[in-house]
Structure 1
Amino acid sequence: MKVKDMIKENNALREQMTPFNRSYFEDMILTMRASRVEALRAEELLLDAAKLLLKEQKKGKNAKQVFGENPDDYFKEIIDSVPTRPARSKWNYYLMIPCAALTCLFGILAIGGLFLQWTNGSSGMFGQISLFTLFAVGAGSIILIELIMKWMTSLSESDAPKAKPFDIKSLGIYIGIAVVAVFIGLYLDRLFPVITLSPWVSLIVSLVGAIGLKFIFFKQA
């Protein structure tokens, strides 16, 4: 059974619980899904716990009588047994993202530059890049991936994102931040030196980056 299917079944079982048992069990869900336990294993354990609770509920027992006073205690031993991801692995993760983004950037510069060189005789805008752009792409890629991961995590308890009411104030704030970021970026871009490079150099850098990603970050894949 897939994780999504188990979440659906878990949600259906929770509907059969008393308000107290459901509230208690939802605390158990939050604890388990926020842990380092692999997603499939976590949902299997939660599903087994939900079935056990419903079985005991029919006998007149509540969640505290089944799992204990604290919702965090039932899975504590399992959660504690999962090793913490090594610090080196975290560093590899945060190094891999900008490396992949910059590899793609140089690939785009190479393809666009070679195409323009073939058609117009000059690589044009693809033949130069600002140091600020390199920094912005590297740092921005990490922020973007983190935001996407947080959004995906927020969907773990339901099958799809729930529609929220339109909030004009929040929209205005987001637009304002985006406009300010664009103007700051344009200003800073002028302060940093611009590097002129051949599309062939961009192609070599892109290929080296791709090889590095394969043999450094994906060597265990």
Structure 2
Amino acid sequence: MKQRKQETKRLIDENNQLRKQLNAENRHYYEDLLVYMRAHTLLRDDFIVEQDLLAILQDLIDAQQSGMNAQTYFGKDPERTGSEMLKAIPRNIADFAWFNLKLILMMFMIFWLPQLTRPVTKFDVGNLLIVAIISIVAVWGVEWIIGSYAFIHPTRMQTVAFYAGGGLLFVVIIGLLAFFKSSWEITLSSSTVLVITSLGLLVGIVLPFFHRLTGQDRILYFWSMFILLLGFLSRLPFLQRFMHAKIDLGAWQWLLYVGMVVVPVLFVLTVWWIRRRKK
């Protein structure tokens, strides 16, 4: 699986370089097709999709050198071309399951891991599952919307509705995390948290020697290591009182709550920006 993932990344990198050879008209045509196909690959084999996209690109470059444009060579309906190609690509349930598992792990790192720094660490399994399911469905929805509008320029109202819906979904997730409590709650003792954070830090120290961290991986890695370190220090007897001291900003206490919302938003935007730069 790792070798196939590396090959897929190589195909994407090669695609990014070769696209620079297209003129503006052909590049617009091809990139719309690229967005459409990549947005519809949740249940498809990414490697085969990237192989097909690269083959199309190479054919288009040859056609361009012969004086033909993309519409003449591939037709005026790129959506139909992409749809027919996707139908020929086999489904890959294993990659789909792994994709969703990674989303759940990411949710765990971002939202549950900070619980290890609290004086009393409670792990609400039901809360995490509901938030994870909503987040996974939301990602599917975003992928579907991106694919649906690959060849259509959305109106201003549709764009506003999309961002408003995303903002509302974010508020719902934060609300569930803050206020929803299920009966599937596990309370961890200080000694258990100390063991978990110690093992987590040990794995984190060794990990870079066995796995090359990319841009997004680095953000999650340093975020997790920072939280694990705080959790570890907060369980040391001589630091417990200091680490668990209540922050009282008086009239400016509201800034603390604003920061608790703004920081995760900035984190998500940073991950999105890094992914966009890579593409």
TM range (shorter): 0.3 to 0.5
Higher helix share: 2
The two structures have a TM-score, normalised by structure 2, of 0.38
Q: Over alpha carbons, which structure has the higher Rg?
A: 1
Higher relative contact order (CA 8 A, sep 6+): 1
The two structures have a TM-score, normalised by structure 1, of 0.47
